[in-house]
Amino acid sequence: MFCIVKKEQSNFFSLLNYSHSTKSSIDNHKLQKMRVTLLLLLFNALLYGSSGFYLPGVAPHEYQVGEAIKLKVNKLDSVFTQMPYDYYSLPFCRPSEGIKQDAENLGELLSGDKIENSPFKLAMNKPVECQVLCMKTYNKKDLFHFQQKIEERYRVNFIVDNFPAAQKFRTIISEEKKENDYIYEKGYPLGSVIHHVGFFVVVLCIAAIK
């Protein structure tokens, strides 16, 4: 390796310098690609990790008996129209302090939902029945909007302690063995339509929180 003719030495070192610079540029290019890939993976992890529950960025909280639990309202959605609406686009009871945005963590922000406060008052391990939330008088326009959303099978979505509220159904696994199981559907129906001979009745559902 050391038997290099002197006149060729400059070419040899030029070749070494060229190969070193070329290698450096390739390494820098690979490093930039790795950085972009890592950022994309991180973004996807946050985005899809938040689609199930609103857990990212929330520390566990152990509630004491009687401690207040925040109930937040989310969008109204329907699998038939695929058009979400703000909860307060319908004339529901509103908070006395006014409607405010209530997204608390990164998962809620990335979800793209419009999460807001509500007038509901909940307390840990303190069952309450039949409390008046508010008194409202609806005109024909208000009732028409309710009827339209009910006929389009819209569902109401709540968030309690950063978990989505869901409706519980019992399903039969085996009729012979009499085995039952339970499934949960996110939200609850805004109302239902009861058909009868010659007419139909539109029923508005009242939220029952357990």
Task: State the pLDDT at residue 163.
Answer: 85
Q: Is 93 exposed, middle or buried (0-12, 13-18, 19+ CB in 10 A)?
A: middle
Query: Count of CB atoms within 10 A of residue 193's CB?
Result: 12
Residue by residue, pLDDT tens for the chain (210 residues) are 333 333 344 443 343 344 444 444 445 655 666 665 555 555 555 544 444 444 544 567 889 999 999 999 999 999 999 899 999 999 999 999 999 988 766 666 666 678 899 999 999 999 888 888 999 899 999 999 999 999 999 999 999 988 888 988 888 777 777 777 888 999 999 998 887 766 667 777 766 555
Task: State the pLDDT at residue 129.
Answer: 81
Domain map (residue ranges) of the chain: 22-51, 68-204
Residue 166 and residue 143: Cα distance in Å, rounded?
25
Residue 154 and residue 189: Cα distance in Å, rounded?
6
Q: Which residue has the tokens 């319908």?
A: 90
What would the pLDDT profile of 47-103 be if each residue is shown by its tens digit?
A: 444 444 445 445 678 899 999 999 999 999 999 998 999 999 999 999 999 999 887
User: Helix or strand or coil: residue 20?
Assistant: helix
Q: Pull the structure tokens for residue 108.
A: 């809620």
